[in-house]
Amino acid sequence: MHVLSLALPLLLAAPPTPAATLDTLHGVKVADPYRALESDDAGKAYAAEQRLKTADWLKAHEVKGLNGRLEEYLSIGYVGRPAVGGDRVFFVRMDGKREQPLLVVRDAGKERTLLDLSKNDPSGKTALDWFFPSFTGKLLAYGISSNGDENSVLHVMDVQTGKLMAERIPDTRWCDVTWLRDDSGFFYRRFPPNERYSPRLYFHRLGAAFEKDEEIFGAGLDKTFWPSTTLSEDGNSLAITVSRGWSASDLYWMDVQTRAVKPLVKDVPALFENAWIRDGKLHTITNLDAPRGRLIRIDPSKPEKAAWETVVPQSAQTLKGFVPLKGKLLTVLLDRAVSRLRIHGNDGKPISDVTLPGVGSVAGLDGRFDRDTVVLEFTSFTTAPRLLTLDTSKKAPPAVLAEVKMAVDLSRFVVDQVEYRSYDGTLVPMFIVHDKAMKQDATNAVLLTGYGGFNVDYTPAFSRRFLYWLEHGGVLAVANLRGGGELGEAWHEAGRKKHKHQVFRDFEYAMRHLIRENYTRPDKLVITGGSNGGLLMGAQITQAPYLFAASYAAVGLFDMVRFHRWPPAELWVDEYGSAENPDEAPYLWAYSPYHQVTDGVRYPAIFIATAEQDTRVTWIHSAKFAARLQAAQAGDAPILLHMEGKEGHGQGKGRSDQVEDAERMYTFFLGLVRLPRMASSPP
């Protein structure tokens, strides 16, 4: 393990000294004893010292053979992110010891590589962020960034020759590209230079200087609003969706020729997603009056709600998306976090359900409105991702388009889906993956994870990272907490803003269920989560530290009183609330992990992982939380902090970096909890 490869000055610093910093928040005094760590000098010096101490702890607890086995697991390939352009299918393929996946195209039955980022950067620090083929498939727009910062630069490639065109458009983080039907240009989203808010929509004509691109939409919007586009089937109209956080969105209609824009749906407290224009009418999925989603049709000449037509009504399953095809619609549904596909006529009437390979997830889906065929990515806990093609004009099940070979035998593992009662009696779904020979005798080492926020679906997916745990006799549990989108908008709303505490209680009661049902016991239970899931870990550490042995919290938010001060965190105020609001500050303070650490508590073992280049969640959260926990710890369990230099929030992380990260996590866990098939007990 290369634990000292950090692009930070490894200077020793004195342990941080708490200061009597008090803020007055709506008349209430709020302590912030480690405010000094918000400065680069003090914070990074502390993080550098902690990295050395963490490295010493990891070295003392090295696990024989761990690195080599993780190298094998993380070298298992994958295929994914399919996109259709013309007769071509574009996707990423990862194999072997490669640091970053290849961008490939399947053309006339043959697969060829379009982009291999390792040729110019063998370190694996340059990543492919996103890509959008043109309608004809002759051109491809894509974005790349370095060191995990996600600050994409847009490029355009001639697919036939592989040659790059002149375009180099910066500030295209999390971009959205909509090509004209003749490939002459595209609409796209771009941020102002050096800004993390206020993205605008532009039109770019191929070959033109991007500085002169026409701004078509976005001026005057709230800086946290997020516009995206979809071109009509005839190419004459543009649907513009403006996301107002994660719970509401607006719809606009633009004439492509005149650039005239008019609102269709505005200031309605509901989501309108997957916009598509067919036969002069806009189709969209909304949760208005339908928390599990329905597909509606809006006539732009009569956009009032009373004139909306329901095409696919709400059902017992959650409607997550749809793809328009030749005379048909293909919908994606979630049935208790398991994916289903259904074919409908253009009028919305169901024709048939699609037989999928098993209990899993449709993670990507794309097709053309003038064809019968779609390409989809399918994955499950026990199946490596594969790309499938589905011809909706036939009754045959999907056929394999691309897959990877895997030497690991997953046939001995089974997946159980259970429901457990949370603190208020609410039934919460949870997946439990384990060896067929597992016994519920309270002796199993269980790794529990979850997310619970932002309407995100935590569905069955193959994880190379968790294979070590499973293959060595561990049990993996994934809880579908409130705050996610698995059970519709009501499920999301039940874990949002003032209801966020219910997410934390759901996770706590997942632990209680695993213990009560004799899967495990507290000294054999470990938990992990990242980002919003890192906040989840912080809440468990401060609210239920007696229920588990160790927590690995990655790139998390821990200071919920000040989180909105670090860009781009104002984007998340819609989900969490803001301490600037006197009605929201009390509940944020009440669960903020940093503020709820209590002196004299015997906390379990904690590993806090962060990254200097994280442009989503600043490392400051992790530094302050670690320092506060270290000062409060009354027991002898370690409180460790590790900050990487040339990495970000996790997107685009190279294979070697993934191996090192997984090795740190497992060395930490296995230094505290033994797996049945480990060669020897931990030190």
pLDDT digits (tens, 9 = 90+) for 232-284: 999 999 999 999 999 999 999 999 999 999 999 999 999 999 999 999 999 99
Average pLDDT of the residues in 454-469:
94
Confidence at 624, pLDDT banded by 50, 70, 90: very high
Q: Which two structure tokens, joined as six digits, stand for 234?
A: 């005839």
Quick one: 438 and 387 in the same domain? no
Q: Where does residue 558 fall: left (phi above 0), alpha (psi -120 to 50 degrees), or beta otherwise?
A: alpha
Whether residue 181 lies inside any domain: the answer is: no
CA proximity to 548, closest of 373, 673, 398, 415: 673
On the question of pLDDT at 78 being above 60, the answer is yes
Average pLDDT of the residues in 117-144:
95
Q: What is the CA radius of gyration of the chain?
A: 25
Report pLDDT for 20: 79
Quick one: 470 and 337 in the same domain? no
Whether residue 662 lies inside any domain: the answer is: yes
Tell how strand 200-205 and strand 110-115 pair up. unpaired
Report pLDDT for 679: 53
On the question of pLDDT at 13 being above 60, the answer is no
CA proximity to 342, closest of 367, 321, 370: 321
Greater confidence (559 vs 118) lies with: 559
* Interatomic CA distance for residues 101 and 91, integer angstroms: 10
Boundary (domain end) residue, out of 383, 405, 427: 405
Q: Which residues pair with 639 in a beta bridge?
A: 606
Confidence at 15, pLDDT banded by 50, 70, 90: low
Whether residue 162 lies inside any domain: the answer is: no
Boundary (domain end) residue, out of 344, 378, 405: 405
Q: What's the DSSP call for residue 412?
A: T
Report pLDDT for 280: 96
639 phi/psi in degrees, rounded to 5 = -115, 105
Greater confidence (132 vs 98) lies with: 132
Q: Which two structure tokens, joined as six digits, stand for 35?
A: 């405010």
Boundary (domain end) residue, out of 405, 426, 442: 405
Q: Which residues pair with 272 in a beta bridge?
A: 286
CA angle 606, 445, 2 (to 5 degrees): 50
Quick one: 435 and 398 in the same domain? no
Whether residue 170 lies inside any domain: the answer is: no
Whether residue 297 lies inside any domain: the answer is: no
Average pLDDT of the residues in 340-361:
95
Report pLDDT for 97: 83
Confidence at 14, pLDDT banded by 50, 70, 90: very low
CA distance to 315, 324, 338, per residue, from 318 (Å): 7, 18, 10
Quick one: 387 and 449 in the same domain? no
pLDDT over 70 percentage in the chain: 97
161-165, 271-275, 316-320, 409-413: range with lowest mean pLDDT: 409-413
- Contact between 63 and 682 under an 8 Å Cβ cutoff? The reply is yes
Which long-range contacts does 541-545 make (Cβ < 8 Å, 24+ apart)?
Answer: 541/593, 541/603, 541/604, 541/606, 541/629, 542/593, 542/596, 542/597, 542/598, 543/504, 543/508, 543/591, 543/596, 544/508, 544/511, 545/601, 545/602, 545/603, 545/604
SS3 569: helix
Confidence at 116, pLDDT banded by 50, 70, 90: very high
Q: Where does residue 598 fall: left (phi above 0), alpha (psi -120 to 50 degrees), or beta otherwise?
A: beta
Residues 6+ apart with CB under 8 A from 463: 381
Give pLDDT tens digits for 486-532.
Answer: 999 999 999 999 999 999 999 999 999 999 999 999 999 999 999 99
On the question of pLDDT at 617 being above 90, the answer is yes
Cβ-based neighbour number of residue 87 at 10 Å: 12
Whether residue 281 lies inside any domain: the answer is: no
Average pLDDT of the residues in 629-641:
97
Quick one: 331 and 463 in the same domain? no
Quick one: 398 and 455 in the same domain? no
Quick one: 28 and 50 in the same domain? yes
Average pLDDT of the residues in 316-333:
96
CATH number at residue 60: 3.40.50.1820
Quick one: 536 and 424 in the same domain? yes
* Residue 212 buriedness (CB in 10 A; 0-12 / 13-18 / 19+): exposed
Q: How many domains does the chain have?
A: 2
Confidence at 289, pLDDT banded by 50, 70, 90: very high
Confidence at 11, pLDDT banded by 50, 70, 90: very low
173-187, 393-407, 609-623: range with lowest mean pLDDT: 393-407
CA proximity to 625, closest of 559, 579, 532: 559
Confidence at 677, pLDDT banded by 50, 70, 90: confident
Give pLDDT tens digits for 194-227.
Answer: 999 999 999 999 999 999 999 999 999 999 999 9
Q: What's the DSSP call for residue 213?
A: P
Q: Which residues pair with 322 in a beta bridge?
A: 331
Quick one: 439 and 549 in the same domain? yes
SS (H, E, C) 461-521: CCCCCCHHHHHCCCEEEEECCECECCCCHHHHHCCCHHHHHHHHHHHHHHHHHHHHCCCCC
- Contact between 646 and 613 under an 8 Å Cβ cutoff? The reply is yes
On the question of pLDDT at 6 being above 80, the answer is no
Report pLDDT for 8: 32
* Interatomic CA distance for residues 183 and 85, integer angstroms: 11
* Interatomic CA distance for residues 180 and 502, integer angstroms: 45
Report pLDDT for 3: 30
Average pLDDT of the residues in 6-27:
65
Whether residue 233 lies inside any domain: the answer is: no
On the question of pLDDT at 453 being above 90, the answer is yes
Quick one: 373 and 434 in the same domain? no
* Residue 235 buriedness (CB in 10 A; 0-12 / 13-18 / 19+): middle
SS3 338: strand
Question: Peptide bond before 133: cis, by omega within 30 degrees of 0?
Answer: no
- Contact between 94 and 71 under an 8 Å Cβ cutoff? The reply is no
Q: Which two structure tokens, joined as six digits, stand for 187?
A: 């609409």
Quick one: 421 and 396 in the same domain? no
On the question of pLDDT at 670 being above 90, the answer is yes
Average pLDDT of the residues in 343-357:
95
Q: Structural domain of residue 401, as residue ranges? A: 318-405
Confidence at 10, pLDDT banded by 50, 70, 90: very low
For the annotated catalytic residues, the residue numbers are 531, 649
* Interatomic CA distance for residues 256 and 273, integer angstroms: 21
Whether residue 682 lies inside any domain: the answer is: no
Quick one: 470 and 535 in the same domain? yes
Buried b / exposed e along 285-301 (16+ C-beta atoms within 10 A)? bbbbebbbbbbbbbebe
SS3 652: coil
On the question of pLDDT at 12 being above 70, the answer is no
CA proximity to 417, closest of 362, 482, 481, 478: 478
* Interatomic CA distance for residues 267 and 663, integer angstroms: 48
Q: Which residues pair with 343 in a beta bridge?
A: 330, 352
